[in-house]
Amino acid sequence: MRRPAGLAIAFAAAVAGAALTMAAAPARAEIAALVIGIDRYTYINPLQGAVNDARDIADALKGLGVKKLRLFVDGDAERSRIIRAWRELVAETAPDSTLVLTFAGHGAQQPERVPGSEADGKDEFLVLADFAPRGPGTAQRLTDDEIAVLLKEAAPRRVIFISDSCHSGTMTRGFDDRAGMLGTRAARIDGKLVDGIDDDALPPPTRAALQAEAEEQPNVTFFAAVADHELAPEVMINRKPRGALSWAFANALRGQADRDGDGIVTKGELETHIRGAVRMALEGRQHPQVQPRGRGEVPLIDPVAGRPKPPSLLPAAGPIPLRILGKPAAVKILAAGMSGVESVGKEDAALVWDSAGGEVVSSMGDVLASIPGDPMAAETRRRVQGVIDKWSLVVRVKAAAESRSLALAVEPGDRAYRKGETVSLDIRGNAGTYFTLINLAADGTVNYLYPLAERNDPAQIPRGGPYRLALTVEPPFGADHFLAIASPRPMAALQRDLAALEGKPAAGEVATLLTRHLTGQPVEFGIHGVYSTAR
């Protein structure tokens, strides 16, 4: 990526939040929770990370001192038990309490049971462990109108509802099947999406249930893993199968969403954290949805765990799990010649090097770099090593950014771009105003982007953003990663040394410079992948 000549950098003041429609609840309100995670389904495709999600969220809630916690995993997640547990929590808590409801598992759709009741003609439902698409097992689900009734019954208690599931659609960019994708949270039987119910054991929704679903419930904040037209993937996070929404929410409970450090997580803080964390972890492939809009100052979690203080600027560099495709004898030689990697199988790989095809692919199914040529040639292996070194830096910065996060986004959207197209990088959420931006090209080549003396770039940007920078797509194609840094102090020495790396494949040196110049400072990081293709 390059900054095109003649294009201005746009600065704008942050937009004020919408007016509050809920009164702030008293401090130290009680928190109670119902947490559900299902990997093992009796009749439909299993998952791998939903139980990990549920246990992680439960552990984070226990860390907040939550005593009224119901955890249902796999076969324990039975319809009547879940409904009864929710109503017990409502009965056991005071009106000023906060109730947390989280679901990690399959989601599905069916044609609307009451004609004209749904704008898209579909009823959504959460799939429970013993669900079957026909006969008595059809009762093992929670429909959208039933959930609306349960949430309404909790009023005036604040409710945070996290649904880490999906219904139908596709992800933003095409998926390369050389990567070991874990699957998505869309229920399937014999490879086909569950999209209908035969011999339904549940009665049609009542008029009261349809009314509850149609009403806005001011006590409820709802986070969905994806929009209706997207799939929610399971991914490897910290080398475990996970759902990104649940992972981000658990970290929010541990204090990572408390940006101002006041011990309270507002709706705006939680939304900013979840959107940014999921976008960063999944390279812009997943876009959590939040309802309602606005109400950013409404407190949701009080108290929250203290915001964690990382022990060092960047975590230590660990080996990158690498899978090499090719003839076994050649693979063994190639693996021995790479540094900073460990050889793994398909499901555990963070990177896949197709030595015959000349491409490196990420675990999310993105082509990171095209490196044609003889894989045994020194130059080919040097370029692949550059991709590995760059990915190692990306992993380390993402880990650091979990607790020092900037919110980055790319417009017009998270898709694959072509040569000559213009993209806009949007930076928000910065407490520090001194700003540095570099780009790491597919092979780890450094492009120093900001500030540039020849453009008279100011050293500081507005606190909180938004700050927007226009860039054009140029070869080499594959994965570019913007690395943004904000600090309350000038970074002239770091900027001088980073500028000296312009045009060099030097991702490892970037890590050294960051550690040398920024250790001990309250800096904030943001990192965002942008993908380009010649096709």
Per-residue pLDDT of the chain (535 residues; tens, 9 = 90+): 665 433 222 222 222 222 223 334 444 679 999 999 999 999 999 999 999 999 999 999 999 999 999 999 999 999 999 999 999 999 999 999 999 999 999 998 877 777 655 656 677 899 999 999 889 999 999 998 899 999 999 999 999 999 999 753 333 456 666 776 677 887 776 667 777 788 889 988 888 887 877 778 889 999 999 876 677 888 888 889 999 999 999 999 998 888 888 889 999 999 989 998 898 888 888 889 998 888 888 899 887 776 656 557 888 899 999 999 999 988 999 999 999 999 998 878 999 999 999 999 998 888 899 999 999 999 999 999 999 999 999 999 998 888 778 888 888 888 889 888 998 999 988 999 999 999 999 899 999 999 999 989 999 999 988 889 888 888 878 889 999 999 999 999 999 999 999 999 999 999 999 999 999 888 999 999 988 887 6
pLDDT at 25: 41
Q: Residue 225 and residue 236: Cα distance in Å, rounded? A: 16
pLDDT at 5: 37
Contact 436, 498 (CB under 8 A): yes
> Do the strands 341-343 and 320-325 form a parallel or antiparallel pair, or are they unpaired?
parallel
Q: Which two tokens stand for residue 258?
A: 């408390």
Tokens 């003041």, residue?
13
Contact 469, 409 (CB under 8 A): no
Tokens 């770091």, residue?
494
In the chain, how many H helices and how many E strands? 10, 29
Those residues with Cβ within 8 angstroms of residue 428's Cβ, 6 or more apart along the chain or in another chain: 14, 272, 406, 407, 408, 409, 464, 465, 466, 467
For 399-532, CATH gives 2.60.40
Burial class (CB in 10 A: 0-12, 13-18, 19+), 523: buried
Q: What is the largest CA-CA distance in the chain?
A: 72
Dihedral angle over CA of 194, 195, 201, 206, nearest 10: 140
Those residues with Cβ within 8 angstroms of residue 433's Cβ, 6 or more apart along the chain or in another chain: 460, 461, 462, 463, 486, 488
Domain ranges of the chain: 33-301, 320-394, 399-532
Domain 33-301 fold is Rossmann fold (3.40.50)
Contact 318, 398 (CB under 8 A): no
Concatenating the DSSP letter of every residue in 71-113 gives EEEGGG--HHHHHHHHHHHHHHS-TT-EEEEEEES-EEEEE-S
- DSSP-derived 3-state class of residue 186: strand
pLDDT at 532: 85
Q: Tell me the whole-structure pTM to 2 decimals.
A: 0.82
Contact 522, 423 (CB under 8 A): no
Of the candidates 446, 423, 430, the one whose C-alpha atom is nearest the C-alpha of residue 507 is: 446
Measured from the Cβ of residue 327, the count of other Cβ atoms closer than 10 Å reads 12
Measured from the Cβ of residue 176, the count of other Cβ atoms closer than 10 Å reads 17
Q: Which two tokens stand for residue 130?
A: 């013993």
Measured from the Cβ of residue 413, the count of other Cβ atoms closer than 10 Å reads 12
| DSSP 8-state assignment for residue 255 | I
Handedness of CA 82, 83, 88, 93 (dihedral sign): positive
Q: Residue 258 and residue 270: Cα distance in Å, rounded? A: 8
